[in-house]
Structure 1
Amino acid sequence: MASPRTSEPCCEQTNTVADETDRWTDLVQRAQWIRAAILGANDGLLSTASLMLGVGAANDERRSMILSGLAGALAGACSMAVGEFVSVSTQRDIEKALKTDITAHQDDVEKHEIMSPVIILDPNLPQGLSPIEKVVTLVQDDDKENTLPNPYKAASASALAFLCGSVVPLLSAALIEQHVIRIVVIAVVSSIALLVFGCFGAYIGGSPVRVLAARVMFGGWIAMAITYGLLKPFDKYHAGNDD
């Protein structure tokens, strides 16, 4: 009579462990997607805005700024997609190789050990652990590969996020006709967007919102200022050639 009673808590704990592992896996996957989306949008915004400001520093034509921004957005989206695909695929291959090596090592150890069927419940279970810890270890090993995103989905998400971030400076340039105002609007709107992305990323990651948001915004200012400043002398050369 005592055996069924003692087995019920063990089954309940096993189910609880499996549920908690599923929740943990889902949270990890969501965090990876959110992180990739924020990074992609931030890169798209900053690179496109810096590129357009650099072209605008050397050329007053709105069409040239928009075309350069559009080309940068498309090229950057393709680059992000390829990089994310290669990164995730490589990570999955490494995880599979490690899992294969560990399994082969465990098989070799089991061949040289004398196992007691009374003590060992399953030959695949790690030794020296309690039954609950063994279940946790097996569930984590089975779900370890599932925590990695799909390479194709990760590539598509990164490219889409990059394009979404690039829309901000592109729309700003398309709506403003006067050159000086266009430059100022692109810089201001991009700064606000960087601040929003930084706050959202800090909130999701549990980091200090003000510190991370200010860091992202100041980093964007430096990138845009360097690009604009280095290409500004070409405007003088262009004006001198026209004269």
Structure 2
Amino acid sequence: MPRHPREIHRTNRVGWLRAAVLGANDGIVSTASLIVGFAAAGSERHAILLAGVAGLVGGALSMAAGEFVSVSSQADAENADLAIERGELAQYPDGELRELTGIYVRRGLEPELARRVAEQLTAHDALGAHARDELGITHELRARPLQAAGASAAAFASGAAWPLLITALAPLATLASIVTAAWLLALAALGAKVARAGGAPTLRGATRVVAWSALAMAATAGIGRLFGV
């Protein structure tokens, strides 16, 4: 028989991938929108760069803080549930064993087999078994606040650096057009890369990111042109 290939799953990427995608997308869109808005208002290059740098620093720190707080809340909820489960295992081990057996019966095991499985898993790691099968908490998907905050901040700064570099080098007269074109390419590449990392079609990922992000830049450019007096 042919050798079974090693399976590569993507669920272990969920925690950092979501934060990285959100950070990079926001970094590109918000910074490029600021630059296009200031350029549409007729600002000088130093003012545009200053706005972009301020947006990069403030946005990266804001993304990190937001991710840390939100993911910490998730971690607190998980830890609270685990503490409750740990106490119930200490006080009511027989009841918890019956509860675990019932879970496996509902998943399709025969009652006798479900009981044996529950006993073996309880003997091996009772809290881990209940965390996984009762609460849906796994090691791969556990909330990791520092990881999410770091990934989000780094991704935001990386995304924001792209339009800032173009702003420093591109001719001022055509700055808005060049930044917009580069922004579209960067977002399309980001969407395709993220889709590939998540196992989705690359074209759909690129289109989804570009289409929604275009609204932000169009609105900001319109405001800059309207009020740039």
* Range of TM-score over shorter length: 0.7 to 0.9
5 Å matches for 1:34-113? 34-110=17-93
> What amino acid is aligned across from residue 216 of structure 1 in structure 2?
V
The equivalent of 1:217 in structure 2 is 210
Question: Gaps spanning 5+ residues in structure 2: where?
Answer: 1-6, 103-113
TM-score (norm 1): 0.73
Aligned counterpart for 1:170 among listed residues 164, 177, 183:
164
| Cα drift, residue 225 of structure 1 | 0.8
| Cα drift, residue 50 of structure 1 | 0.6
Q: 1:232 is paired with a residue of what secondary structure?
A: helix
The equivalent of 1:10 in structure 2 is none
| Cα drift, residue 56 of structure 1 | 1.2
Is 1:126 aligned to 2:100, yes or no?
A: yes
| Cα drift, residue 158 of structure 1 | 1.2
Aligned counterpart for 2:222 among listed residues 221, 229, 238:
229
Distance 1:229 1:123, change over 3 A: closer
Over aligned residues, Cα RMSD in angstroms? Answer: 2.9
Q: 2:171 is paired with a residue of what secondary structure?
A: coil
Is 1:197 aligned to 2:190, yes or no?
A: yes
Distance 1:123 1:217, change over 3 A: closer
Percent identity, please.
36
| Cα drift, residue 178 of structure 1 | 2.8
Question: Could you tell me whether the CA contact under 8 Å between 1:49 and 1:190 is conserved in 2?
Answer: yes
> What amino acid is aligned across from residue 155 of structure 2 in structure 1?
A
How many Å separate the matches in 1 of 2:38 and 2:189?
A: 25
Q: What count of residue pairs does the alignment treat as equivalent?
A: 203
| Cα drift, residue 164 of structure 1 | 0.2
Question: Could you tell me whether the CA contact under 8 Å between 2:16 and 2:147 is conserved in 1?
Answer: no
Question: Could you tell me whether the CA contact under 8 Å between 1:95 and 1:145 is conserved in 2?
Answer: no
Higher alpha-carbon Rg: 1
Deviations 1:49-79 (A, max 9, x none): 0111111111331111111011001000010
